């Protein structure tokens, strides 16, 4: 059922020249109870976000330095951060978010799961005032930059990343990139919609309309992280953009746990992992699973 739609989306994105105009998110920090709850729920084991999380989790796990400090920008309810901290008990994690309700959700979840190696801080990622210069070994971020109001804010966030990273520090960021048509946005949203709440679906639509372009990411990365990270995007159309520092090849030490999580996903979410892996591989980024 998905293939013909996917094919139509590929053709549409290939034939249109310009990205859609950007519509910023209605609010920067996600604070409304509905949106917070829906987002936290979308991250459950078989939720709409679970396939994308698993793909990026595998990539991030290959980069976590034993004993190192990892900063997650815009950690939200800690859906991905919690998994990363559990799989890497030897490292220390800091989840930074502007939304107090998101941080409270994350704190609750971490307490319930006994995660003791992740601290949570209320931080604006364009300031990172509570994070010391050159204190971070790995900066990660997932699906968060598109919440920033404009390219200046994106630029300030990347400048802060450059400030807080240790000299040998690395990054793994993923976010949506701007598509070329509202039809393509509808296709991607429809893939995730089954069984999900209207609040999560709304949030997804807003996210894809608020995404920065690949060129926006290239400009700010060139300014602040040149030589430290490379940009990858899904082939054909930058539905997903990844900024990653070079890493040693080879599977993560937690590969068996990741494979087990993959096997437990429902078919639609397995398809998300496979499609992300395929289209990012075609865009130059090898899969970590």
Nearest residue to ligand SAM, by Cβ distance, number only: 76
Taking CB under 6 A as the rule, does residue 30 contact ligand SAM? Answer: yes
- Least Å from the CB of residue 127 to ligand SAM: 8
Q: How far is the CB of 14 from ligand SAM (least distance, A)?
A: 28
Residue showing tokens 């920067």: 28
Choice between 106 and 225, CB closer to ligand SAM: 106
Determine, following the binding rule CB under 6 A, whether residue 175 of this chain makes contact with ligand SAM. no
Q: CB count, 10 Å around CB of 264?
A: 13
Rounded Cα gap, residues 254 and 215, in angstroms: 34
Q: Which of 57, 61, 84, 102 binds ligand SAM (CB under 6 A)?
A: 102
219/150 Cα distance (integer angstroms): 13
Q: Does 79 contact ligand SAM by CB under 6 A?
A: yes
Q: Least distance (Å) from ligand SAM to the CB of residue 251?
A: 23
**Distance from C-alpha of 173 to C-alpha of 65, rounded to nearest angstrom:** 16
CA dihedral 102, 192, 277, 161 (to 10 degrees): -20
Closest separation in Å from C-beta 128 to ligand SAM: 9
Nearer to ligand SAM by Cβ, of 19 and 43: the residue is 43
Q: Which residues contact 274 (CB under 8 A, 6 or more apart)?
A: none
CB of 151 within 8 A of CB of 221?
no
Of the ranges 70-78, 159-167, 211-219, 231-239, which one interacts with ligand SAM (CB under 6 A)? 70-78
Q: Is 97 in the site for ligand SAM (CB under 6 A)?
A: yes
Is there binding between residue 99 and ligand SAM (CB under 6 A)? yes
- x-or-dash pattern for ligand SAM, window 119-158, by CB under 6 A? ----xxxx---------------xxx--xx----------
Where are the alpha helices (H) located in 114-254, listed in sequence order? 151-164, 182-193, 198-210, 214-225
* Cβ nearer to ligand SAM, comparing 80 with 252: 80
Check residue 29 for interaction with ligand SAM (CB under 6 A): yes
Sign of CA dihedral 118, 123, 126, 127: negative
Closer Cβ to ligand SAM, 79 or 213, answer by number? 79
42 half-sphere exposure, CB direction, 13 A CA radius? 26
Q: How far are the Cα atoms of 49, 118, 173, 235 from residue 84, in angstroms, in the given order?
A: 15, 10, 14, 27
- Interface residue list for ligand SAM (CB under 6 A): 28-30, 43, 74-76, 79-80, 96-99, 102, 123-126, 142-144, 147-148
């Amino acid at each position: 059922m998905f293939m013909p739609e996917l094919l139509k989306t590929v053709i549409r994105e290939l034939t249109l020249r310009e990205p859609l105009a950007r519509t910023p998110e209605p609010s920067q920090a996600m604070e409304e109870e509905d949106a917070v709850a829906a987002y936290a729920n979308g991250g459950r084991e078989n939720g709409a976000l679970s396939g994308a999380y698993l793909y990026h989790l595998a990539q991030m796990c290959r980069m976590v330095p034993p004993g190192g400090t990892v900063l997650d920008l815009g950690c939200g309810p800690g859906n991905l951060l919690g998994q990363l901290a559990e799989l890497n008990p030897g490292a220390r994690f800091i989840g930074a978010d502007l939304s107090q309700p998101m941080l409270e959700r994350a704190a609750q979840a971490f307490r319930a799961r006994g995660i003791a190696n992740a601290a949570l801080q209320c931080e604006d990622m364009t300031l990172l005032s509570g994070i010391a210069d050159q204190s971070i070994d790995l900066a990660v971020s997932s699906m968060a930059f598109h919440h920033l109001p404009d390219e200046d804010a994106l630029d300030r966030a990347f400048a802060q990343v450059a400030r807080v990273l240790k000299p040998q520090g690395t990054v793994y960021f993923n976010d949506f990139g701007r598509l070329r048509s509202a039809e393509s946005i509808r296709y991607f949203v429809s893939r995730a919609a089954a069984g999900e709440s209207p609040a999560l679906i709304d949030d997804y639509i807003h996210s894809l309309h608020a995404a920065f372009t690949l060129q926006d990411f290239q400009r700010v990365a060139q300014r602040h992280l040149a030589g430290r990270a490379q940009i990858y995007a899904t082939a054909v159309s930058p539905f997903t953009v990844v900024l990653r520092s070079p890493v040693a090849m080879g599977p993560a030490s937690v590969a068996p746990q990741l494979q087990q999580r993959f096997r437990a996903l429902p078919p639609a979410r397995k398809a998300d992992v496979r499609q992300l892996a395929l289209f990012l591989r075609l865009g130059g980024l090898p899969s970590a699973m």
